[in-house]
Structure 1
Amino acid sequence: MLNCVSLTGRLTKEPEVFKTAADLELVRFTLAVDRVFKNKTGQRETDFIECVIFGKRALTFASSTTKGSLIGVAGRISNNHFENKQGEQKWRTSVVVDNFAWLESRAMTESRRTGTLQATGTDGMPARDPSASPELATDDLPF
């Protein structure tokens, strides 16, 4: 049997930090993940997927991400059965994260949130005007 999940998405809000009864760190967060196909109106739909991460990685995750961060996660689906405060039986499905990766810098996330995002190339450097020709000295040419 195989239970393996990989997701790429943006955090919908700040990660929430908790401690378990066994004094283990736990962080809950929700990823907004766009579907690869468009609906009948031409819009991409989004799934909101609850994730949880445990231990020291949880604290690293919580301290280094913020609402809007672009994150990649790998883990497994977990279904948990519990009784709420009203005595009702409930199920919670979430992704238990084993590994995660930051897919953009914190500065990029912040600039997107504040609306100060500047045009950049794919490497984060300022975009070059494609109509401008690069300046080359003839001494630099190999022939």
Structure 2
Amino acid sequence: MINRVILVGRLTADPSLRYTPKGVAVCNFTLAVNRPFTNQQGEREADFINVQVWRRPAENAANFLRKGSLAGVDGRLQTRSYEGQNGKVYVTEVIADSVQFLEPKGKDSGEQNNAHRGQNTAYNDPFAGEGAPINISDDDLPF
């Protein structure tokens, strides 16, 4: 049997870090993941998926991710239930084995920090030459 989940999306809020009574770190956050199609109005919808990560990766996620951060999650799907005020409550979430930070540290989503400092942000895009030929000598090739 295989239970594997790989997601890429943006955090909907700052992650929440807490510790168990035995001192084990656990971090929870919600990832907004775009659907690969548009609805009848031509708008792209998203799914909001709860993620839980444990131990050192939990502390890293809490320290380096913020609302709007782009993150990749690799883990497994888990369901659980508990008794709520109005009966049984079912929860489905991703238990992350790893969380990848997919944006440079300090970059706020939707905002170009470098633009505020008057710098050109094109250095981030290695393909910014818009298809112009690249001069590479034969000595630079590995074969």
Aligned residue runs from structure 1 range 16-95, under 5 A: 16-84=16-84, 86=85, 88-95=87-94
Task: Summarize the Cα distance change of 1:113–1:55 in structure 2 as closer, same or farther, 3 Å threshold.
Answer: same
In structure 2, the residue matched to 1:107 is 106
Q: For 1:88 and 1:53, locate their aligned partners in 2 and report how far apart those are by CA, in whole Å.
A: 27
Q: Percent identity?
A: 34
Moved over 3 A (4+): 112-121, 125-130
Provide the aligned length of Structure 1 versus Structure 2: 132
| Aligned counterpart, 1:8 | 8
Separation in 2 of the partners of 1:96 and 1:29? 11
Aligned to 1:120: 121
Provide the C-alpha distance between the structure 1 equivalents of 2:19 and 2:46, rounded to a whole number of angstroms. 30
Structure 2 unaligned blocks of 5 or more:
131-136, 139-143
Higher-Rg member (1/2):
1
TM-score by structure 2 length? 0.76
So what's the TM-score if we normalise by structure 1? 0.76
Shift of 1:107: 2.9
- The alpha carbon displacement at 1:93 in A equals 0.7
Deviations, residues 59-93 of structure 1 (Å, cap 9, x unaligned): 01100111111000100001012223x37322111
